[in-house]
A and B are shown apart, each in its own frame.
Chain A
């Protein structure tokens, strides 16, 4: 094959290593800001320019203006999966690949596929499309970003289950903010443009409060700005070795260590660590310490909890390590020194009873005392709801 002369454009494409597709994500801050609308408008624009655009998945939500935007666009038929007697409509990734468009539009990036689907998450399907060299335009809301999960809970009181890992969003060529004022959004909701009346009522209870929406909007704007800056920095050429440039470029690269325990707050610590690493352009490790003789109390639960957290860290593209040592504080600090860690992230000391306070605080404060040459960050618990919930 490799020696044959290509005769048509098609066979050239078949032989060349596929260029991975580019991803564009339209980022919003709530249902109804106009993400799908913007996305379809973009598709129409590209079609007018003569691009081969298809719609891989579209969720109409019964919105007239949005449905009208699909006019004239080719829709790849979805597939139906039956789960416990109910039919679910899912994107047909294989059919799209068979169709081989240049660009595919995929609604609701954060969607979780019904059990029995090829892949768990829609973003994984999108990854498959990108790997096949298809450009993808998709959308999501800020509350679906994994590293913000605790923060979102703090703001809204809702634990969002459908998340997209930050690294996947970072892999997008472009993240574009879809903005609308909170007032306009609330009006749309009241008019019934976003949800049916019962659901609108329910939505007003949590996400659709003015203050909540404003906070989410601000987060989305800041995240989009960060995504831009992240891409700018990633594209900057490395300064030549030995050449001293601006002071900001002389900085040593930060290395962040996240101390993983079985405590449920560790998930929050991992998310915050991921976010810090992304913002500071740092490397990030998740490290746990197991005692050589096995554990003390409730061994099985500890091991399970720790494994769960280490897996979670890996899913967020954080390298994880298990160290052995009888003194966790000492083991962690030693490891940090040997690996040129610049920042150690630990959870807050617990408040419960005196005994656990003595045991656990002991660890946090012992790390602080031992690591006098390393920054130690005691991460706030962002899972707590604000004290006053009226408004």
Chain B
């Protein structure tokens, strides 16, 4: 979920164009992402297949789950199915048969399966890769916990790690589209009023809510990156502030620790990104340098993306950085010094306030 730290260079844009050309030849991958089983991924995915087929697209089902509820069965009856191959007690996609049949769209319910020993590919995602390379588009389903890049976050919530996972690179490289299948973690409208909400059930519901939130945020950040690429390639400034991005400006003497904590908290609460900058000052005393290092170190420990900016004009350097990153909130502290330096600093704050168009400026109080 990290962003590229700089604006794309012409070379990067060119590479993007080339990737786009490769993409044109390859099949497209669309992923229905759910946070748990039973949220309705299969239904939504297969129903999309049905609609596409009714509009005349050549759609074929290539992988199914062992069991389906009646409403899904009803859709399956309207679709062509290429039977899976049996290997022992398990089933794998019949890749050669699918490539031979060469439909426009292959529906694959459940991306995160490991194929049994003796299969041509170890993992189902490798089967999918083969289909995409053959120019067949794939629509598939996956649960959050099977995405390798979310393993840590999922484990923090559930305490468990999934054994078979989709590697980080695969989805980033291949998925053209991602759709969240959202549903309430607790179906309060259909469940009967229960006698007692046991502690275990509450804990379970809490976990599901957290996973659900994670799924929504993952999709949001994917879209954010796509939007950014789109806007920049169309020569638009990144200025919509859909995702909050918080920038804390530290100096040796500002009340940095509290301000950093507040910035972190705002970033968390607004599900945003967190940046910390320091504008390099030439003549810094030994003591100030030590405090500054301490502050920047603390910022890193709080998970901030830290940068040291160069420039004689601090206000300008900060604003330039803010515009480049699409910052939505700038935190800046009152100076704790006295005399001329303080007037200069106040002047800096006022200039930032005046020029920070489209950005909230948070003037942070003294430490007490």
The B344-368 residues at the A interface (CB cut-off 8 A) are: 346, 349-350, 353-354, 356-366, 368
Determine if B117 is an interface residue (Cβ-Cβ < 8 Å).
Answer: no
Contact A225 B216 (CB under 8 A): yes
Closest to A232 in B: B209
The one of B212, B236, B242 that contacts A222, using a Cβ cutoff of 8 Å:
B242
Determine if A95 is an interface residue (Cβ-Cβ < 8 Å).
Answer: no
Contact A228 B213 (CB under 8 A): yes
Determine if A369 is an interface residue (Cβ-Cβ < 8 Å).
Answer: yes
Contact B265 A381 (CB under 8 A): no
Interface-forming stretch among A83-91, A111-119, A125-133, A173-181? A173-181
Determine if B230 is an interface residue (Cβ-Cβ < 8 Å).
Answer: yes
Contact B189 A218 (CB under 8 A): no
Interface-forming stretch among B97-105, B163-171, B180-188, B284-292? B180-188
Set of chain B residues within 8 Å of A49, measured between Cβ atoms: 190
Determine if B204 is an interface residue (Cβ-Cβ < 8 Å).
Answer: no
Set of chain B residues within 8 Å of A225, measured between Cβ atoms: 213, 216-217, 220, 271
Contact B220 A222 (CB under 8 A): yes
Contact B189 A135 (CB under 8 A): yes
The A263-292 residues at the B interface (CB cut-off 8 A) are: 272, 279-281
Contact A45 B220 (CB under 8 A): no
Contact B179 A215 (CB under 8 A): no
Rounded to whole Å, the gap between the CB of A14 and the closest CB of chain B is 18
Set of chain B residues within 8 Å of A176, measured between Cβ atoms: 182-184
Interface 0/1 of A340-383, CB less than 8 Å to B = 00000000110000000000010011001101111111111110
Determine if B310 is an interface residue (Cβ-Cβ < 8 Å).
Answer: no
Rounded to whole Å, the gap between the CB of B351 and the closest CB of chain A is 11
Determine if A79 is an interface residue (Cβ-Cβ < 8 Å).
Answer: no
Interface 0/1 of B295-331, CB less than 8 Å to A = 0000000000000000000000000000000001000
Rounded to whole Å, the gap between the CB of A148 and the closest CB of chain B is 10
Contact A45 B190 (CB under 8 A): yes
Rounded to whole Å, the gap between the CB of A381 and the closest CB of chain B is 7
Set of chain A residues within 8 Å of B30, measured between Cβ atoms: 181
Determine if A211 is an interface residue (Cβ-Cβ < 8 Å).
Answer: yes
Determine if B223 is an interface residue (Cβ-Cβ < 8 Å).
Answer: yes
Interface 0/1 of B249-271, CB less than 8 Å to A = 00000000000001001100111
Determine if A137 is an interface residue (Cβ-Cβ < 8 Å).
Answer: yes
Set of chain B residues within 8 Å of A135, measured between Cβ atoms: 189
The one of B212, B230, B240, B359 that contacts A210, using a Cβ cutoff of 8 Å:
B230
Contact A222 B217 (CB under 8 A): yes
Contact B364 A375 (CB under 8 A): yes
Count of chain A residues near B, Cβ 8 A: 72
Contact A221 B189 (CB under 8 A): no
Rounded to whole Å, the gap between the CB of A256 and the closest CB of chain B is 12
Set of chain B residues within 8 Å of A145, measured between Cβ atoms: none
Determine if A70 is an interface residue (Cβ-Cβ < 8 Å).
Answer: no
Contact A218 B213 (CB under 8 A): no
Determine if A155 is an interface residue (Cβ-Cβ < 8 Å).
Answer: yes
In the assembled complex, the Cα of A88 lies from the Cα of B245 at a distance in Å of 45
Determine if A390 is an interface residue (Cβ-Cβ < 8 Å).
Answer: yes
Determine if A391 is an interface residue (Cβ-Cβ < 8 Å).
Answer: yes
Contact B177 A103 (CB under 8 A): no
Contact B219 A228 (CB under 8 A): no
Contact A388 B363 (CB under 8 A): no
In the assembled complex, the Cα of A391 lies from the Cα of B361 at a distance in Å of 29
Closest to B226 in A: A214
Contact A179 B237 (CB under 8 A): no
Set of chain A residues within 8 Å of B126, measured between Cβ atoms: none
The one of B51, B180, B365 that contacts A373, using a Cβ cutoff of 8 Å:
B365
Closest to A21 in B: B189
Contact B209 A380 (CB under 8 A): no
Rounded to whole Å, the gap between the CB of B86 and the closest CB of chain A is 34
Contact B223 A218 (CB under 8 A): yes
Chain B interface residues toward A at CB < 8 A: 30, 51, 55, 177-184, 188-190, 206, 209-210, 212-213, 216-217, 219-220, 223-224, 226-227, 230-231, 234-237, 239-243, 262, 265-266, 269-271, 328, 334, 346, 349-350, 353-354, 356-366, 368
Can you identify 25 A-B contacts, CB atoms within 8 angstroms?
A24-B184, A42-B189, A46-B190, A49-B190, A51-B190, A155-B240, A173-B188, A179-B182, A214-B226, A215-B240, A218-B220, A221-B216, A224-B216, A225-B213, A251-B265, A272-B360, A348-B353, A376-B362, A379-B360, A380-B359, A380-B361, A381-B357, A381-B358, A382-B241, A382-B358
The 7 closest A-B pairs by CB, nearest first: A221-B220, A177-B182, A225-B216, A391-B234, A214-B227, A179-B180, A378-B361
Q: A155-B242, A181-B178, A279-B270 are in contact. List 14 more A-B contacts (CB 8 A).
A: A154-B240, A154-B241, A178-B182, A225-B213, A228-B212, A280-B265, A361-B354, A368-B350, A368-B363, A372-B365, A376-B362, A386-B236, A387-B239, A391-B231
